[in-house]
Amino acid sequence: MDKQLIKGNEAVVYGALLGGASHFFGYPITPASEIAHAAARFFPATGRCFLQAEDEVNSVNMLYGAASAGARVMTASSGPGISLMAEGISYIAGAELPAVIVNVQRAGPGLGNIWPEQGDYNMVVKGGGHGNYRNIVLAPFSAQEMCDFTYRSFDIAERYRMLVFILADAYIGQIMEAVALPDEVKKPVRQDWALYGDKESRENLVSSILMNTELLSTHNWKLDEKYKKVAEEMTEWEEYETEDAEYLFVAFGVCARLCVSALQGLRKMNIRAGLLRPKTLFPFPSKRLDELGKKIKSAVVVELNNGQMADDVELAMRCAVPVLRYNWMGGKVPSTQEIIDRAAKDLRG
- Verify that 129 and 66 share a domain, yes or no: yes
Phi and psi at residue 317, in whole multiples of 5°? -85, 0
Measured CA to CA in angstroms, residue 245 lies from 297, 303, 320 at distances of: 9, 20, 16
Give the pLDDT of residue 127: 84
What per-residue confidence (pLDDT) applies to 262? 98
Question: Do 117 and 137 have their domain in common?
Answer: yes
| CATH code of the domain containing 303 | 3.40.50.920
* 167 & 274 share domain: no
CB-based contact 333:254 (threshold 8 Å): yes
Residue 320's pLDDT is what? 87
- pLDDT value of position 2: 77
49 and 148 housed in the same domain:
yes
For the stretch 36-76, pLDDT in tens is 999 999 999 999 999 999 999 999 999 999 999 999 999 99
Beta strands in the chain (DSSP E): 4-7, 23-26, 49-52, 73-77, 99-105, 136-138, 163-169, 176-179, 237-240, 247-250, 273-278, 280-282, 298-303, 323-327
Report cis status (omega within 30 of 0) of the bond before 31: yes
Q: What is d(CA 7, CA 12) in angstroms, rounded to the nearest whole number?
A: 9
Nearest CA-CA partner of 88 in 77, 219, 222: 77
Q: CA nearest 25: which of 46, 9, 47, 40?
A: 40
In angstroms, the CA 81 to CA 261 distance is 33
Same domain, 302 and 263: yes
**pTM of the predicted model as reported, rounded to 2 decimal places:** 0.97
The whole-angstrom distance between residue 173's C-alpha and the CA centroid of its chain comes to: 12
Residues 6 or more apart whose Cβ sits within 8 Å of residue 10 = 34, 35, 38
Residue-number span of the structural domain to which 152 is assigned: 4-234
Q: Are 104 and 76 in contact, with CB atoms under 8 Å apart?
A: yes
Domain boundary among 216, 234, 252: 234
Residues 6+ apart with CB under 8 A from 133: 90, 93, 94, 127, 223
pLDDT value of residue 297: 97
Within this chain, do residues 27 and 167 fall inside the same structural domain, yes or no? yes
Number of domains in the chain: 2
pLDDT under 50 in the chain at which residues? none
> What are the φ/ψ torsions at residue 232 (nearest 5 degrees)?
-75, -30
pLDDT of residue 1: 59
